[in-house]
Amino acid sequence: MTTPLDGLRDLPGIDLVERGLGDLRAGRATPESALVSMAAPRLNAIGVDVPFSGHNGAGHRLYGLLSDEDRASAHSRYNALVARIVSFARAAEHASSG
């Protein structure tokens, strides 16, 4: 069976997307699931079915989870993760348009 992610396997950030989707489906609150929830509108637009998490404020949830792990590095890790998911989404949009 082919999934929308099959054509995106070589893109940077696919690891985060796959982990986040798996965590969302399993009901786990992880940085990756919060990140994928944040990017859901963009991911859905390229054909990736992002399960609804039932939570609002995925960005706040992501920051909280990162802060719980290591308060001192939460801000820089948050920015790095957001940059990676944006990069993935841009590359996926480009791949699907051409």
pLDDT digits (tens, 9 = 90+) for 28-63: 999 999 999 999 999 999 889 999 877 679 999 999
89 domain-assigned? yes
Position 2 pLDDT exceeds 50: no
Residue with tokens 């859905």: 44
46 domain-assigned? yes
CA-to-CA distance for 57 and 34, rounded, in angstroms?
A: 9
Domain with 22, as residue range(s), is 12-97
User: Which structure tokens are listed for 6?
Assistant: 């099959």
79 domain-assigned? yes
DSSP string, 1-69: ---TTGGGTTSTTHHHHHHHHHHHHHT---HHHHHHHHTHHHHHHTT--PPP-S-S-HHHHHHHHHHHH
Number of domains in the chain: 1
